[in-house]
A = this chain, B = another copy of it.
Amino acid sequence: MDLAKIGATEKGGVCRLALTQLDKEARDLIVRWATELGCTVRIDKIGNIVARRPGTNPELSPVMTGSHIDTQPTGGKFDGNYGVLAGLEVLRTLNDHGLRTIAPVEVVVWTSEEGSRFVPVMMGSGVASGAFSLEYALSREDSDQISVEDALKSIGYQGCVEPSYSPKAYFEAHIEQGPVLETAACTVGVVTGALGQRWYNVKVQGQEAHAGPTPMNLRRDALLVAADLVKGVNQIATGSSTNARGTVGCMSVFPNSRNVIPGQVAMTVDLRADSAELLDLLDTQFRKLCSECELPVEVEQVVHFAPQPFDSFLVDSVRRKSADLGYPSMDLLSGAGHDAVYLASVAPTAMIFVPCEGGISHNEIENASPKDLEAGANVLLQMIIEAAAVDDA
């Protein structure tokens, strides 16, 4: 709640875009809390913050946990922030109990996860896992042509450490951002992996014409074809698998005049699936749908993330720890991207989901109960104790 004061909105949410002055204030607070817990803090060249609690064997790779503290423009208090604060709470608990771990434990704040100000999304973890280069990330610009590098420098968070990571294990606690756990009355989501994603820009080309004098049979109505695509995308996903998603999120109509038949529609399509085969099938069906329309439809794929399974041993461990602690849990897939999805390509990775109210997130009314947040942190604590191993010496 203290962190959520920085960038707090009237409706109870948070607006704290990446690498702004508010992001700096929030980063300063995390660094202060970590330092007070006895951690050393380092900043890498893309601005990721790593707070380290030493292990008894400094030669070992660290066990890492964390998430992000940038938000959507009308974001909530919990998305990302919970994962960072749960990590700090684990360190505090280890301190309170005087537990020393053999491997070091690190809590990380990844730079610019949301993509609201800079794209690509998940920038800090993307560089950390080698998904794209540091130079590429630093040169990205916001809508005011301010580069990531300039923004990092202006808030004093471009460090000199190389952004290269290969932890022993990576964990991330996060609100679910969907309604599944709440609907099933489960406290912990055992995340078996992340859906793959294909994003497209789609354009339907018709002919604008006056809505009155143009008979129905002589029309080339771009919105009518776009409506077929909206329904088709939904049907492709609904008919394929419970682990498929199909969404049209953006649509713009030209000329968008009450008495003019739309001549052009631009829209986005977002397809997701839990296996590469299913994602390819959705892609094929979607492209077939577009090619069979009565008007020309242009399709451009703009994003492709392969499905990413998490480490099966660690996933099973989350399942067992939840049961040991008495929390009802269920397996689910992450439909959204997370820093953990990138980390999974360089380290054994698992995520712990907790319910959020009504499944609502990326919204100022985003909410989660203290009880559920505590449960997720307790599972995280047990995962870290297991992975970093308590030194009984």
Binding site for B on A (CB under 8 A): 176-180, 183, 195, 197, 199, 207-218, 221, 223-224, 226-228, 230-231, 234, 237-238, 242, 244-253, 256-262, 268, 270, 272, 334-337, 359-363
Asked if A256 and B246 make an inter-chain contact with CB atoms under 8 angstroms apart, the answer reads: no
Asked if B258 and A214 make an inter-chain contact with CB atoms under 8 angstroms apart, the answer reads: no
CB-contact partner of A253 in B215, B216, B251, under 8 A: B251
Contacts of A217 in B (CB 8 A): 238, 242
Interchain CA distance A257-B214 in the complex, whole Å = 33
Asked if A215 and B249 make an inter-chain contact with CB atoms under 8 angstroms apart, the answer reads: no
Q: Is the interface of A mostly helix, strand, loop or mixed?
A: mixed
Interchain CA distance A119-B248 in the complex, whole Å = 34
User: Chain B nearest CB: distance from A366 CB in Å?
Assistant: 10
Q: Contacts A230-B227, A360-B209 given: A183-B218 contact, CB under 8 Å?
A: yes
User: Chain B nearest CB: distance from A6 CB in Å?
Assistant: 23
Asked if A179 and B249 make an inter-chain contact with CB atoms under 8 angstroms apart, the answer reads: no
Contacts of A361 in B (CB 8 A): 210, 213
Asked if A249 and B245 make an inter-chain contact with CB atoms under 8 angstroms apart, the answer reads: no
Q: Contacts A213-B336, A258-B270 given: A359-B251 contact, CB under 8 Å?
A: no
Q: Contacts A231-B224, A260-B362 given: A249-B211 contact, CB under 8 Å?
A: yes
Tallying the copies of this chain within the complex gives 2
Asked if B335 and A214 make an inter-chain contact with CB atoms under 8 angstroms apart, the answer reads: yes
Asked if A213 and B249 make an inter-chain contact with CB atoms under 8 angstroms apart, the answer reads: no
User: Chain B nearest CB: distance from A244 CB in Å?
Assistant: 7
Contacts of A226 in B (CB 8 A): 227, 230
Q: Contacts A230-B227, A234-B221, A257-B249 given: A363-B213 contact, CB under 8 Å?
A: no
Interchain CA distance A190-B250 in the complex, whole Å = 44
Interchain CA distance A175-B129 in the complex, whole Å = 64
Chain B residue at smallest Cβ distance from A197: B212
Asked if A248 and B270 make an inter-chain contact with CB atoms under 8 angstroms apart, the answer reads: no
Asked if A250 and B245 make an inter-chain contact with CB atoms under 8 angstroms apart, the answer reads: no
Q: Contacts A212-B272, A212-B334 given: A218-B359 contact, CB under 8 Å?
A: yes
Which of A210, A226, A246, A363 has the most CB atoms of chain B within a 10 A radius of its CB? A210
Asked if B260 and A335 make an inter-chain contact with CB atoms under 8 angstroms apart, the answer reads: no
CB-contact partner of A335 in B179, B212, B336, under 8 A: B212
Chain B residue at smallest Cβ distance from A229: B227
Asked if B258 and A250 make an inter-chain contact with CB atoms under 8 angstroms apart, the answer reads: yes
Interchain CA distance A238-B177 in the complex, whole Å = 42
Asked if B249 and A259 make an inter-chain contact with CB atoms under 8 angstroms apart, the answer reads: yes
CB-contact partner of A180 in B213, B253, B337, B363, under 8 A: B213
Q: What are 14 inter-chain pairs, A to B, with CB distance below 8 A?
A: A178-B210, A178-B218, A179-B209, A183-B218, A208-B362, A208-B363, A209-B360, A211-B335, A213-B334, A213-B336, A213-B359, A216-B242, A231-B231, A251-B256
Contacts of A251 in B (CB 8 A): 223, 251, 253, 256
Asked if A250 and B248 make an inter-chain contact with CB atoms under 8 angstroms apart, the answer reads: no
Contacts of A272 in B (CB 8 A): 211-212
Contacts of A336 in B (CB 8 A): 210, 212-213, 259
Chain B residue at smallest Cβ distance from A261: B247
Interchain CA distance A176-B256 in the complex, whole Å = 22
Asked if B258 and A199 make an inter-chain contact with CB atoms under 8 angstroms apart, the answer reads: yes
Asked if A213 and B262 make an inter-chain contact with CB atoms under 8 angstroms apart, the answer reads: no
Contacts of A179 in B (CB 8 A): 209, 214-215, 218
Interchain CA distance A320-B347 in the complex, whole Å = 87
CB-contact partner of A260 in B210, B227, B249, under 8 A: B249
Q: Contacts A176-B213, A178-B214, A247-B211 given: A268-B260 contact, CB under 8 Å?
A: no
